[in-house]
Every structure is written in structure tokens, then in C-alpha cells.
Amino acid sequence: MGTRGNPTFLATLWAALILAWIFSGEQFLDLMFAMPDAGAVDDWLLGIVVRAEDMRAAWGAPDLFASWRGLLHRTFGLG
Amino acid sequence: MVFPTLQFVLFFAVVYGLNLAVAGAAAWRKALLIAASYVFYAAWDWRFCLLMAGVSAIAWAGGLGARRHRWARGLSIVLLIGTLALFKYFNFFTLSLAQLLQDSVLARDLSLLRVILPVGISFYTFQAISYVMDCARGEIAPRRNPFDVALYISFFPQLVAGPIVRAADFLPQIDRPFAVDAAMRGAAVVLILSGLFKKMVVANYLSVLLVDPVFAYPEGQDAAVTALAVLGYGIQIYCDFSGYSDIAIGIALLLGYRFMRNFDQPYRARGLSDFWRRWHISLSSWIRDYLYIPLGGNRGTPARVTVNLLLTMTLAGLWHGAGWNFLAWGFLHGLALAAERAIRGRTGALSVLSIPVTLLIVLALWIPFRASDWDGTLAILSALTRAEGFAATAITGPALALIALGLAMNWLPMRWRDRVEGGVIRLPAWAQAALLAAGTVTLFAAAQDGVAPFIYFQF
């Protein structure tokens, strides 16, 4: 049994995660503020996230996640 | 931290990457997975980690001594059951005692005593007990390395809601080199997406659209709506729990570990004993091997077997929750199993009705399970006889579609699922990951706002 393909699988997952962050509005920022206090590294972590969020906002990336969500909910009557 | 959250996605993305990075070093991989499991558990309450470490230590020491010394086995089992009893049943017993003593000062003091229920304790103490018992029976060799036992007890995919993994299945896997091929990845992608769909779409929406409103206010419902809500709860609990199991098994596969299947289309069972071979299989087989068979199992007179069944199922009910409704649920299942045993082979042509009759019994017994107390149970039973409800919950198209979907999951041929899985297995690695990512994003988008807890977390 081989293990080929796992690094590709991992790289694709991380690329997808970055794309999800870029095109999902402030979901990740909300998540970071909702997480439990990470102690000594909390300010450092939040600083990185806020800087990344500023960068994302500067690119003007659309919130595709919200649009996709709205479409799904309207189509299937999920309310 | 629960599976269908962005927080868990980020956590897993990091752990999965680190697991690949240390794939060639078994000791580092073990250390990483233990650390990740404790971080995962600490997200609820870091104090519970001390409890889990204590349970692991008892199991490790008990396993070492269990083969040679009966007292070591006995002591460790008593300590493990005592831990479970203290954290899970203390409130139930003190509250019941306080109700019995009514107006006395002791009753008032007792009703003030409370112990927090650590999430997943029923699952990991059962794993610890089975480890000690298997060592005592000589079915597995006790582990000298306490970290092996710590990983077995704490492994995060199955930590808080199972499946209840057997040491004989799990421990040999931690000694093998990491090997996740396209087949394991493909199976994992299908399991994770199907689990997320069952939980985030079917279970959560059924709960909000139908089950919760009816069970919250049964006095205003009519028979048709109530019957549909009971069926809806049957589908909800199946999708909630089997969804969790699917995700857990899928995540474990990506990390290189195989777990047993925990559900096998339970609502197509041809009898109660068949139902228990298909529902929460890891618990049913645990109870069979460590409780029912040691009690005597099917050996002895019919009366003795009936007593064994009643005792086993009542304790299984109590395992689910510290409440009289769970006791009653387990006892009634025991009674139904005993009745089924008594009429076995005598049903003749009526055996064609075995599937619908079994489904009806199982659904009827979900009522006390869901209704939290006697008054609620009686109110639902009363609503099932009411012709008109003055404030009946509206039955919407999505609710009916979700019920149909839930039933279909129990009836669709397994080869259809296998065919889908085969297709995903043949995809290149990047496409498997892209499918997992796109599917997860879509299911997160389709889900309701907020995080609905898994029903089995309370057990």
C-alpha cells in the first residue's frame, strides 16, 4: 500500500482553505474572535488575522460564500 | 470543538499536515496525535483532560496487572466504573434521592450538589474497560508503553461520540507505518461528505422544522403531525449519530486508521435483535461481549435469558443517559427482545410484516428517549390520538423531503454507495481534495446559522 498522493491532497486542501478565506467575507475573522483566548499567543494570532483581513479587503474579493448560501437557501426553501 | 465547524476544519488541516510531516517516525506520530487529541478535548474544558489522563493511567496499569492478578483487574474495573458513575450518574442519584426525601434538610442539600458531565466520558471509559478485560482474557497483550494506551483512549476522531473502538483493532495499527492510499482517501472523502450532509442538512433541519416544535408543544398537535414528528425524530437521531460516526471514521482514515462500521441501515431491520446488529454496532457488540455473554447470554432457561436481556438492555439504556426515561427505553427494548425471542419461528406468514412492525416499535420507543420526562412522553402519546390540533405545526415541503431522504438512506442498495465510492477512489489526489473542499463549503453554506450539538454528545 503506497502513500503517493497525500502531499498533493494536503496542498490542495490548504489551497482550497485559502480560497475559502478569500471569498467568504468575514467568516474567518468572526471565527478568530469567537475562539477561546489562546493566552500568550492570542494577541499575536489576532494581529496576523487582522493584517490578513486588511489585505483581503484591499483586494475587494466578493463574498461568494454568502451568495452561494443565499442561492441554496432560496432554491431549497431552507429559510 | 465539534466536527462541522470552521474551527475544526482549521484544526484538522494543521493536524493532517503535521501527521504527514512525521509519517515516517512512529513515536513522533504517536506524540502528535496524543497532543492533538488533548487539545481537541481541552476545547471543551481543559480540566477534563486530567480526567481522561487518569482513565488512561488506570487502564494502562490495570491492563499490565490484569492477566496475573484478579485483584488488579477488579480494582481497575471498579475505578473505571466508579469514575463513570460519579461523573455521569451522581446528579441523577442525588436528585432522585432528594425527591424521595422531599422536605427534609438533607433533600435541600442534596439538590444543590452538582457534578459537570465531561463530554464523551461514556465512550472512553467503555474503551478503557474493554482494554482491561481483553488483557485479562488474554485476547490482547498489555502495552508496556503508557502512551500507546493514552492514544487508544484519547484518539480525537472517536473521542467524544464513538465508535467505541476495540483495542485489538486499534493498537496493532499504531505500530504499522503510515500508509494512506487512494482507496482510503476516496472512502474518507465519501464518508466525511455523507456524514456532514446527514448532520448539517437532514438532522439539523428536521429538528428545527418539525421535531423540536412538536415535542416542545405536544398539547397543540394532532395525530398526523405528531406521528410525522416521531418518524422525523427517528430519522433525525439516525442521521445525527450515524453522520457523526461517518465523519469520525473518515477522519481516522485520512490519518491512517481504520474503524469498524457503526451503522448498517438500521431501519430496514427484520426484528429487534436485527436492529441492534445494525444500530450503534460498536456499543451493541460491546454490551454483548462484556455484559450479556458474561451474564450467561442465551444459555440457560428461557426465564434466565429473559432476565439477562432485561438487565443488559436496561443498563444499555442507562448508558445513554442518567434519567428514568432512558432506563424505561432500555427496559422496553429488553422486553421487546424477549418477546421476539419467545415468538421466533412461530410468526408464519406474518413474517412479511417484520420490517414495518420493527420500525413501528423502534419509533414508538424513541418517544420516551426524546421526551426527557414522563409528562412529555404522555403528552406525545396523547397527541397521537388527537383528531385535531388547535396549533398544529405546519408540515412543510422541505420537512417531508428530508424524511423521504432519511428513509431512502436506509433503503438504497449499498452497491450504489459503493459505486460512488469507487468513482471517488479512481480520482487523482488533487481532485479528491477539491471534491472534499467544494462539498464541505457547499454543506456549510446549506446549513443553518449556529452550531447544533450532536445528540450523542450528552451521553
Q: Chain A residues with CB inside 8 Å of B205's CB?
A: 78
Hey, of B430, B442, B448, which one would you mutate to test binding to chain A, going by the most A CBs within 10 A of its CB? B430
Domain hosting residue B104, numbered range = 6-179
Q: For cell 493498537, name the residue.
A: B171
For residues B292 and B279, the answer to whether their CB atoms sit within 8 Å is no
Chain A residues in contact with B397 (beta carbon < 8 A): 77
| Calpha distance B430→B416 (Å, rounded) | 24
The reported pLDDT for the residue numbered B300 is 85
Domain for residue B428, yes or no?
yes
Type of residue at B293: I
Contact flag A13-B396 (C-beta cutoff 8 Å): no
Nearest CA in chain B to A19: B437
Domain map (residue ranges) of chain A: 6-76
Phi-psi region of B166 (alpha: psi -120 to 50; beta: other; left: phi over 0): beta
**Phi/psi at B260 (5° precision):** -70, 155
Instruction: Report CB contact under 8 Å: B429, A17.
Output: no
* Claim to verify: residue B127 and residue B87 sit in the same structural domain: yes
What's the mean per-residue pLDDT of chain B?
Answer: 89
Residues B49 and B107 in one domain: yes
How many domains is chain B partitioned into structurally? 2
Residue reference for cell 422525523: B232
Ranges of residues in chain B whose predicted pLDDT is under 50: none
- Most B CBs within 10 A among A1, A8, A13, hence the mutation to make, goes to A13
Among B179, B207, B229, identify where a domain stops. B179
Give the pLDDT confidence score for residue B113 in this predicted structure.
63
Check whether the bond before A36 is cis (ω within 30° of 0).
no
Q: Which of B276, B275, B249, B272 is nearest to B261 (CA)?
A: B249
- ipTM > 0.90 for the complex: no
> Is B208 found in the same domain as B113?
no
Q: Would you tell me how many other CB atoms lie within 10 Å of the CB of residue B91?
A: 17
CA B145 → CA B27, B156, B212, B339, distances in Å? 11, 19, 47, 47
A3 touches chain B (CB under 8 A): yes
CA B295 to each of CA B74, B77, B105, B300, B308: distance values in angstroms, whole numbers, following the listed order:
16, 16, 40, 11, 6
Helix B182-196 and helix B429-446, axial crossing angle in degrees, nearest 10: 10
Distance of alpha carbon B439 from alpha carbon A33, whole angstroms? 26
Cα angle B238, B279, B406; round to 5:
30
Q: Is A60 on the interface with B (CB under 8 A)?
A: no
Residues of B in contact with A21 (CB under 8 A): none
Give buried/exposed letters for B29-65 (b at 16+ CB in 10 A, else e). bbebbbebbbbbbebbeeebbebbbebbbbbbbbbbb
Identify whether residues B190 and B108 lie together within a single domain.
Answer: no
Q: Kindly state whether residues B119 and B268 are assigned to the same domain.
A: no
Which of A8, A65, A68 is nearest residue B430 as measured by Cβ atoms? A8
Please check whether residue A77 touches B, CB under 8 A.
Answer: yes
Contact A68 B437 (CB under 8 A): no
Which of B178, B210, B427, B441 best tests the A interface by mutation, with the highest count of A CBs <10 A? Answer: B441
Please check whether residues B40 and B141 belong to one and the same domain. yes
Domain boundary among B129, B159, B179: B179
Tell me, yes or no, if A58 comes closer than 8 A to chain B by beta carbon: no
Give the count of beta carbons closer than 10 Å to the beta carbon of residue B81. 12
- CA–centroid distance for B258 within its chain: 17
Among chain B, residues having any CB pair with chain A shorter than 8 Å are: 6-7, 9-10, 13, 16-17, 20, 23, 43, 178-182, 185, 205, 396-398, 428-430, 432-434, 436-438, 441-442, 444-446, 448
User: Would you say residue B1 lies in a domain?
Assistant: no
What's residue B456's pLDDT? 65
- Asked if B438 and A16 come within 8 Å (Cβ–Cβ), the reply is yes
Say yes or no: B51 and B164 in one domain: yes
pLDDT of residue B23: 87
In whole angstroms, give the CA distance from residue B48 to residue B33: 17
The C-alpha atoms of residue B333 and residue B47 are separated, in whole angstroms, by 36
The C-alpha atoms of residue B430 and residue B387 are separated, in whole angstroms, by 57
What CA–CA distance (Å, rounded) separates B309 from B295?
A: 9
The alpha-carbon gap from B246 to the nearest alpha carbon of chain A, in Å, equals: 20
Q: B155 with B236, same domain? A: no
Between A and B, how many CB-CB pairs are < 8 A? 90
pLDDT of the residue at B130 = 95
Of the candidates A12, A9, A35, A27, the one whose C-alpha atom is nearest the C-alpha of residue A68 is A27
Interface test with A, best of B6, B7, B39, B444 (most A CBs within 10 A): B6
CB spacing of B13 vs A14 below 8 angstroms: yes
Residue B93 confidence (pLDDT) = 74
| Distance (Å, whole) CA B76 – CA B69 | 11
Q: In this structure, are B135 and B203 located in the same domain? A: no
Q: What are phi and psi of B385, to 5 degrees?
A: -110, 5
| Domain endpoint, select from B151, B179, B207 | B179
Q: Which amino acid is at B227?
A: A
B84 exposure class (CB count in 10 Å sphere: 0-12, 13-18, 19+): buried
B191/B166 same-domain check: no
The number of helix segments (H) and strand segments (E) in chain A equals: 4, 0
d(CA B199, CA B4): 8
pLDDT of residue B114: 67
Q: Which one-letter DSSP state was computed for residue A60?
A: T
The dihedral built from the CA positions of residue B253, B135, B66 and B126, taken in this order, carries a sign that is positive
Residues B130 and B208 in one domain: no
pLDDT at position B68, please? Answer: 82
The mean pLDDT of A13-28, rounded to a whole number, is 87
pLDDT at position A1 over 60: no
Check CB contact under 8 Å for A16 and B437.
yes
CB < 8 Å to B429, chain A: 4-6, 8-9, 12
Shortest alpha-carbon distance between residue B108 and chain A (Å): 36
CA B392/CA B187 separation, integer angstroms? 43
What span, in angstroms and rounded, lies between the C-alpha atoms of A77 and B209? 11
Vertex B41: Cα angle to B283 and B27 (nearest 5): 90
Kindly state whether residues B165 and B206 are assigned to the same domain.
no
